[in-house]
Structure 1
Amino acid sequence: MPPTGANNSLVRARLTIHHPPSGSSHTLGGRIDEVEFQFNPNQLELSRSASWYAQRAVGFDRGAQQEFSGADPASLSVEVFLDSSATPTTPEVRKKVDQLLSCCEVDPESLPTNRPSPPWVRFSWGGFSTVQFIAYVESVSAAYSLFSPTGEPLRATCRLSLKEIPTPTKGQNPTSGALTAQRVHRVVVGDSLPSLAWREYGSATRWRAIAEANGIDDPMRLRPGSELLLPSADDVRRGRERERGGTP
């Protein structure tokens, strides 16, 4: 059954699906798709752990001395309930399940690179920042529970397991304003800053971030063959928060 009252929520949980970065970058690539939750989850399971190494020494009579060896990636488990029984002629449930299953398949655009990879994702739910991190989908399972007379699935419960993708430690001088990561894009005919911003950040209105990073005055005039630095999505988000007077 769907979570009680979830359909009345004003803020929807969502899973944004991105192309993986090229090379060793930890910056999300352009957005592929987005799965907005039809019903908000009634439970999230978040786990995080740290690794310690036991260094045995004669001088300790109550066990071995422990040494910290690193933080482990976070894991997030979430359940997605899908229901299109009110519109039984649409393949909405099947399409959304296919979107989620594709997160465990290699992204075709990554095949020419040296590091083929499935898409990277980011789960978000309003201001619940604790569960918002870049991740890959470790597993997806779908249980179908209702079908149309033609066999079209009308109801499904999907269980997702996300594993955090570790990112480099933040810079030593957080007030410097330096970009944490960038990606290089070679301009082709038809490119514009709004179109690049849409592909990279999911919003054409964020073209100013690319313009500022490259010292561009006219966003519509780009020279084919030239290279542009694309700021990371996190840098763009922090810049917008600073403009609004918020805390990055």
Structure 2
Amino acid sequence: MPDPATGQKTRLLMTRYSVSSDGTIALDSSTTFTVMLNPADFKHSFGISYDKQKKQGEPAADPKFSAVDAEKVNFSIVIDGTGAVPAEAGTTRQDVKAQLAQLNKVVYQYVGEKHEPPHVRLLWGTLIFFGRLESMTTNYTLFKPSGDPLRAKVDLGFVGAMSKKEAELVSNRSSPDLSHRVLVREGDTLPLLCHRIYGDSWYYLDVARFNRLVEFRNLKPGLELHFPPLE
């Protein structure tokens, strides 16, 4: 999909980020991976868990809300080392092994001081997803005579990550705004949307943090925003 500002086709970008104790994030622009070929499609799923237990003898029971499950994103990318796919301008072509090593560094290698998998932001068009790697499967499909891979297909699955504060907001079962989602339209601003929903535009910073928006002053039409319950 093209960048509206330049008309050039943008590529899916994966960037490591860290989360501070107050829930704010900081992108690590030195640890990124840009795909060679954008996914043909991606799956963005949401889930809700219910308590479905019923008493003995009951024919059926009304499922009781239990929890909001984490969002998930799944897609596949192709990594090519044959030279058939041109490298990005200003970059050096890398073989499949080097590209996979960089992908691993961004999404899989443990954060040393925390001894846990990294947080990763996915950015592509209207998709802005903050989470962690849940699964990665690499299928090598083409080889050099020496056995070195020339092409690989990588299936990736990410699970959404929320700070403790955001998780508390989402789990507020008594709120009528629990499932409030808004699709951004042309001309919408975050203060304006907050005024429509909360009656007060000053909640825009809280909503930006909840949606993990790095740039919230210029909202892209088609972006889906989540508005948490008020405390």
Q: TM-score range by the shorter chain?
A: 0.5 to 0.7
Tell me the distance in 1 between the aligned counterparts of 2:76 and 2:157: 9
Does residue 100 (structure 1) correspond to residue 103 (structure 2)? The answer is yes
Gaps of 5+ in 1: 1-8, 183-230
Q: Please, which of 135, 146, 152 is the counterpart of residue 139 of structure 1?
A: 135
Query: Identity percentage over the alignment?
Result: 21
> Partner residue of 1:21?
19
One-letter code of the match for 1:117?
E
Tell me the distance in 1 between the aligned counterparts of 2:146 and 2:93: 11
* 1:125 to partner: Cα distance: 2.2
One-letter code of the match for 2:115?
P
Q: Please tell me whether Structure 1 or Structure 2 has the larger radius of gyration of its CA atoms.
A: 1
- 1:30 match: secondary structure: strand
* 1:69 to partner: Cα distance: 1.4
> Partner residue of 1:158?
154
Say which is worse superposed, 29-38 or 77-86, in terms of deviation: 29-38
Residues 72 and 159 of structure 2 are in contact (CA less than 8 Å); yes or no, is this contact kept in structure 1?
Answer: yes
> Partner residue of 1:67?
64
- 2:101 match: secondary structure: helix
> Partner residue of 2:36?
38
> Partner residue of 1:49?
47
Tell me the distance in 2 between the aligned counterparts of 1:81 and 1:126: 19
Change beyond 3 A, Cα 1:234–1:163: closer
Gaps of 5+ in 2: 1-6, 85-91, 171-193, 226-231
* 1:22 to partner: Cα distance: 3.9
One-letter code of the match for 2:82?
S
More helix by share: 1
Tell me the distance in 2 between the aligned counterparts of 1:99 and 1:233: 27
> Partner residue of 1:117?
116
Residues 55 and 65 of structure 1 are in contact (CA less than 8 Å); yes or no, is this contact kept in structure 2?
Answer: no
Pairing of 1:74-223 with structure 2 (within 5 A): 74-86=71-83, 91-102=94-105, 103-108=107-112, 111=113, 115-127=114-126, 129=127, 132-149=128-145, 151-167=147-163, 168=166, 169=169, 173=198, 175-177=201-203, 179-180=205-206
Tell me the distance in 2 between the aligned counterparts of 1:29 and 1:40: 22
* 1:235 to partner: Cα distance: 4.9
**What do the CA deviations read for 1:116-168 (whole angstroms, capped 9, x no partner)?**
332211223213x4xx3211011222222223355543211111111111351
Change beyond 3 A, Cα 1:177–1:66: closer
Tell me the distance in 1 between the aligned counterparts of 2:224 and 2:207: 20
* 1:71 to partner: Cα distance: 1.0
Tell me the distance in 2 between the aligned counterparts of 1:232 and 1:166: 8
Say which is worse superposed, 157-166 or 36-45, in terms of deviation: 36-45
**What do the CA deviations read for 1:40-90 (whole angstroms, capped 9, x no partner)?**
2223233221011136469x9541232211210122211110112127x95
* 1:25 to partner: Cα distance: 2.5
Change beyond 3 A, Cα 1:55–1:247: closer
Residues 13 and 123 of structure 1 are in contact (CA less than 8 Å); yes or no, is this contact kept in structure 2?
Answer: no
Q: Which runs of 4+ in 1 moved over 6 A?
A: none
> Partner residue of 1:198?
none
Tell me the distance in 2 between the aligned counterparts of 1:164 and 1:180: 18
One-letter code of the match for 2:101?
D
